[in-house]
Amino acid sequence: MKNILITGGAGFIGSHVVRLFINNYPNYNIINLDALTYAGNLENLSDIEGSKNYKFVKGDICDAQFINELMQKESITDIIHLAAESHVDRSISDPLSFVRTNVIGTVNLLNAAVAAWKDAYDQHIFYHVSTDEVYGSLGETGFFLETTSYDPQSPYSASKASSDHFVRAYANTYGLNIKVSNCSNNYGPNQFPEKLLPLMINNIKNNKPLPVYGKGENIRDWLYVVDHARAIDDIFHKGKVGETYNVGGFNEWKNIDIVNLLCKVMDKKLNRQDGDSAKFITFVKDRAGHDMRYAIDATKINKDLGWEPSLQFEEGLEKTVDWYLENEAWLKNVTSGKYQEYYDEQYA
Ligand code: NAD
Ligand code: TYD
């Protein structure tokens, strides 16, 4: 019997992980711990909230006493840790909240795991979900391997790198059974429209300018979120204790190319003339310290665990656009109120 604590389960990736575990493992109890920050949204899980093996707990991973009590009360056997501040632009305007949640929050969870599991570390797993951004920025060639040195370049990636180091230090120092994965850029349903693709989808829909940073030449490697959730499932169940797995889509795109493709797809879906939406592309001031290129070599997870992406990018992009067009109420709810303030400040 497993009682798995999934942190950040009301967020974008976390909600897909919670759904996959609820559906695939009816014998596990899934406890979703989330502070419901601006990025957390229980609507993401409305389809599974009535499941017998699911419980939502509202709380902050930085609250040590609360986390310790939760570990006892729910007899937590394993942790899959996704809760984080996750947006690079916000980390530039408010780095300390990234230190708080991503570093202090992670160390709090590690302390709680050590306290709860110290008599039987080998029966428990602490799985930390991280990002490829910890490896820094690539030039035109090369890929991030699990052995690539850390070289974080933004406050966000520095905080995630720090949390990864703490997780590994706790394995070395206390003997905690850990697993770490570093994944490339995710896209798909339920992503908060501060990130590139949902922000562009929302703006295309509303005939608003499409703000491309700099010259749009930066490159990201895109993976459909459900494929990331499948990788997390594989790593949790089949991955070796103490190991790191890089997860990616073998799918690199220049920002300007991906935005142009999205415009084409949406012109079709919205019965517009081909080229109508792309007219709204606007080149804006570049992000400070903007990483040029991320690219993951996902050979290890493919060879060792048999994982590979299930979707071609064009198919995933269409599914994503369809989801946003069909879920107008979701998009409206998350873009009302505070979102507008953030948007006006970021894109002034
Ligand atoms: P998200 O911002 O959509 O969701 C984060 C969730 O964490 C939200 O539900 C939020 O309410 C919750 N949270 C924030 N602070 C909290 C706190 N103090 N206590 C409890 N809950 C808190 O993020 P996401 O895109 O789903 O990313 C999830 C994880 O995956 C993060 O750790 C991120 O670094 C990592 N990751 C993301 C990507 C990506 O492309 N989005 C890629 C690789 C790795
Ligand atoms: P983002 O979705 O914020 O992910 P990350 O910075 O973690 O990779 O951004 C993806 C890329 O798109 C990144 O190179 C920055 C760029 N971008 C824009 O050009 N305009 C935007 O409005 C946003 C949000 C991002």
Residue ranges of the chain with per-residue pLDDT less than 50: none
Mean of all residue pLDDT scores within the chain: 98
Ligand 2 atom at minimal distance to the Cα of residue 287 = 15
- In short, whether 258's Cβ falls inside 6 Å of ligand 2 is no
Question: How far away, in angstroms, is 203 Cα from ligand 2 center?
Answer: 14
Residue-wise pLDDT tens digits, 25-77: 999 999 999 999 999 999 999 999 999 999 999 999 999 999 999 999 999 99
Q: Would you call 132 a catalytic residue per the annotation? A: yes
Residue-wise pLDDT tens digits, 75-94: 999 999 999 999 999 999 99
Give pLDDT, residue 190: 98
Residue-wise pLDDT tens digits, 189-216: 999 999 999 999 999 999 999 999 999 9
CB atoms within 10 A of CB 240: 11
- In short, whether 84's Cβ falls inside 6 Å of ligand 1 is yes
Separation of alpha carbons 191 and 241, rounded Å: 30
- In short, whether 265's Cβ falls inside 6 Å of ligand 2 is no
- In short, whether 203's Cβ falls inside 6 Å of ligand 2 is no
Give me the domains of the chain, ranges plus CATH numbers: 3-190+222-250+289-311 (3.40.50.720)
Out of 54, 127, 135, 156, pick the active-site residue: 156
Q: Would you call 156 a catalytic residue per the annotation? A: yes
Q: Would you call 213 a catalytic residue per the annotation? A: no
* Minimal-distance CA residue to ligand 2 atom 7: 88
Give pLDDT, residue 134: 98
Give pLDDT, residue 328: 96
Cut 0.85: pTM above it: yes
Give pLDDT, residue 348: 86
Separation of alpha carbons 137 and 23, rounded Å: 37
Among all bound ligands, the one having the nearest atom to the CA of 12 is 1
Give pLDDT, residue 20: 98
Among all bound ligands, the one having the nearest atom to the CA of 80 is 1
- In short, whether 42's Cβ falls inside 6 Å of ligand 1 is no
